[in-house]
Structure 1
Amino acid sequence: MQEANLLKQLVTTSKGFGCTTFALQHEDKIVFGRNFDFMIDYGHIVVNKRNVLKAALVPHSEKQFQWTSTFGSVTFNQVGREFPYGGINEAGLVIEQLWLDSTQYPSPDHRYGISVLQWIQYQLDVADHIDDVVESDLLLRIIDDSGANLHFFVTDKNGDSACVEFIKGKMNVSKGKDLKVPVLTNSSYEESLWSLSRTKQEDPSQSVFTSNSLDRFKQTTELLLEFERESSPNLIDYSFLILDTVKQANFTQWSIVYDISNLEVHFKTKGNLQKAVIRLEDFDFSSASPCLVSDLQSRTGKVHFETYSSANNLALINRVFDSLAMLKDIPKEIREISANYPEQTVFNDQESCC
């Protein structure tokens, strides 16, 4: 029962005030842009190891699912390690989540259940192409009581992108010729495409949230088209220009540009507009070194990483939960389940990952 309550609280924090993602490619270089829009900017950058055995944190009514991470990854986490909002792995696959009101996850069936944020970590652990993410639907289903209605934008090192949504209990994927523009905001991809030729005046019944989402989709699409006319484009700078254009006043907390081709992460935060860069080649993803985290709020210059600890993990969870009225009454024992979960993961040589 505690696990079920925890899962709902973890992902409830994911509902923001509008997020934006896109992919941009020029010649052999591929980048992925993302604005995270929410009420608070607390978070950790987490270095996740390869060859780690993990088990899904699910209610006792679910079959136990285990997997071993094939790839290391760097993720942005707000509710503790192993429950990311998005990130990039060694294979060059990026996945990010966004709120979608109409999401409906599958009902219980023969597949293994997994919580929605752990589903993201699973994909970063094992997938090196968008097709791997799609094919995981044969094995896994996001549990229906997750508490957060999300859809996902994924791009891989080949420049292939996909929008992954759960509509009426089934995975719905837009990729290849069906992905007309590599952009996703907070409306379904189908509705977003339909809206490109319409305006708010043509559909006055739209909610403010929907109108805002569709406006950002249209703005981002137009800016991607303008990029094609640039004579000497800089993908990183232009991606930040897009993110700055569609940012949400006081609610855009993190702006991230993943340089997939070079396995780099460029980012800035509301509290520190100086851009920083992380290179995956600088990290040891093996069991030979400790797990690392960086506090997004404490950055003053170069990104500083320190050894992960469950105490720091719990401190982040407490900061986030205590800052949100909907979560501040969550009891200590529930918070500690999440904070201590990484101690249950082990390297395949049976040494603790922590």
Structure 2
Amino acid sequence: MVFSPMPRFLLLIVLALLPAAADACTTIAFTDRTRPILAYNFDFPIGQAVVLINKKGLAKVSETEGRPARWRARYASITFNMFGRDSPMTGMNEAGLATSQMWLDEARYEASDDRPTIGVAEWMQYVLDTSATVDEALEAIAKVRIESRIPLHYKLMDAQGHAAVVEYLDGKAEIRRDDGLPVAALANDTYARSLDFMRQVQSGTAPATGSSSLARFTRAGLAQQSPRDPADDPVAKAFATLADVAQSGRTQWSIVYDLAQRTVHWHTRGNALIRSAGLAGVETSCAAPPLFVDIDEGEGSVAALFRPFSSAENEKLILATFRATPFLAHIDEATLRHSARWPATARCEM
């Protein structure tokens, strides 16, 4: 069977994620308006990736076929990328809006209509490129339609402490926020099922032990709802919560976004030291190239370690990721090189 380059690449990402589908990733939003924090565990068989600083002013086109979405990046962002530039697993922009994704078997995206299409990871870069708040992000995503077989749901949070969950169930977008989001956590079951299980735990009819999606959601939710002592460090509390819901041998990255400070902190399975970065003092115009550090590199502030990220670096990342994944190592390089070159087609319009 012969595939055109982009549909084949999307199929490969499906295959890449399938082994992690059962128990993959946890997000917790600490919605204190004075110090909003978004915390994320990325669970996957491998952990190699880069931390990217994406520049603003670029006119982009989605990699989907047919009627691809087109947009202009209004905001610079910092993202964690395993499958190449513009396809992040999670990220935050300079306005303090952050997003993350988690596997959801039940996800079924909207049917074809007149809206332009976008990929499931591109969706997150599109949100970060175009939106400063959760309100703006929800308006932006209504203008596009995800075209993919990769079943995900998403978490959004902004610097004002507003959070939302975006799920696509039975072909419809379901948005939970405000009163509809009493627990600002998300794992790998639908939000409704997760909330119901947490209530069973609170009533004493179910345990919250183990690493199942429902147990992780519950423990994360209880931590999120607990009152914050003003003397406590909210970043440290977020990391402690991520440690509680981490999965042995599977949690590759633990990431904490301090949205009010516009700073991200992380540690990885490959480097237990906490590192940090932000966009302050960085040239964010697309007149300069995007920047990167290896996700396992450095300690403390890694601002001085960022360096230009070229198409060659993007290709290196994508090829290395697939080669390191045993069940993907046989994939021919032509398809991967095609995708690696795609971000370079964006035009700088500063």
Whether the TM-score (by the shorter chain) exceeds 0.5 is yes
Question: Pick from 113, 118, 140: which aligns with 2:122?
Answer: 118
Between the two proteins, the alignment pairs up a number of residues equal to: 339
Is the Cα–Cα contact under 8 Å of residues 11 and 116 in structure 1 kept in the other structure?
no
Partner of 2:34: 28
Question: Pick from 6, 20, 31: which aligns with 2:9?
Answer: 6
**Local SS of the residue matching 1:158:** coil
Partner of 1:299: 298
Asked if 1:344 is matched to 2:348, the reply is no
TM-score normalised per structure 2? 0.91
CA deviations on 1:87-117 (whole Å, 9 max, x unpaired) are 0001110000000010001121111111111
Q: CA deviation at 1:224?
A: 2.2
Partner of 1:48: 54
Partner of 1:286: 285
CA deviations on 1:242-298 (whole Å, 9 max, x unpaired) are 011111011111000000001000110011111011022132111343211111134
Partner of 1:132: 136
CA deviations on 1:121-147 (whole Å, 9 max, x unpaired) are 10000011112222234321000xx23
After superposition, residues 138-177 of structure 1 pair within 5 angstroms as: 138-143=142-147, 146-177=148-179
What letter is aligned with 2:327?
A: M
Partner of 1:214: 214
In 2, distance between residues paired with 1:348 and 1:99?
35
After superposition, residues 77-96 of structure 1 pair within 5 angstroms as: 77-96=81-100
Q: CA RMSD in A?
A: 2.1
TM-score normalised per structure 1? 0.90
Runs of 4+ with >6 A deviation = 201-204
In 2, distance between residues paired with 1:202 and 1:225?
20
What letter is aligned with 1:24?
A: F
Q: CA deviation at 1:299?
A: 3.4
What letter is aligned with 1:290?
A: P
Is the Cα–Cα contact under 8 Å of residues 53 and 68 in structure 1 kept in the other structure?
yes
**Local SS of the residue matching 1:290:** coil
Q: CA deviation at 1:33?
A: 0.4
What letter is aligned with 1:31?
A: I
Asked if 1:71 is matched to 2:70, the reply is no
In 2, distance between residues paired with 1:317 and 1:39?
15
Residues 115 and 311 of structure 1: CA distance in aligned 2, closer, same or farther (over 3 Å): same
Q: CA deviation at 1:311?
A: 1.8
Question: Tell me, which stretches of 5 or more residues in structure 1 are unaligned?
Answer: 350-354
Task: Please identify, of 92-101 and 18-27, the stretch whose mean Cα deviation from structure 2 is larger.
Answer: 18-27
Partner of 2:322: 321
Q: CA deviation at 1:74?
A: 0.3
Is the Cα–Cα contact under 8 Å of residues 134 and 163 in structure 2 kept in the other structure?
yes
What letter is aligned with 1:331?
A: D
> What's the % identity of the aligned pairs?
32
In 2, distance between residues paired with 1:153 and 1:25?
13
What letter is aligned with 1:104?
A: R
In 2, distance between residues paired with 1:110 and 1:296?
39
Question: Tell me, which stretches of 5 or more residues in structure 2 are unaligned?
Answer: none
In 2, distance between residues paired with 1:285 and 1:133?
21
Partner of 2:185: 183
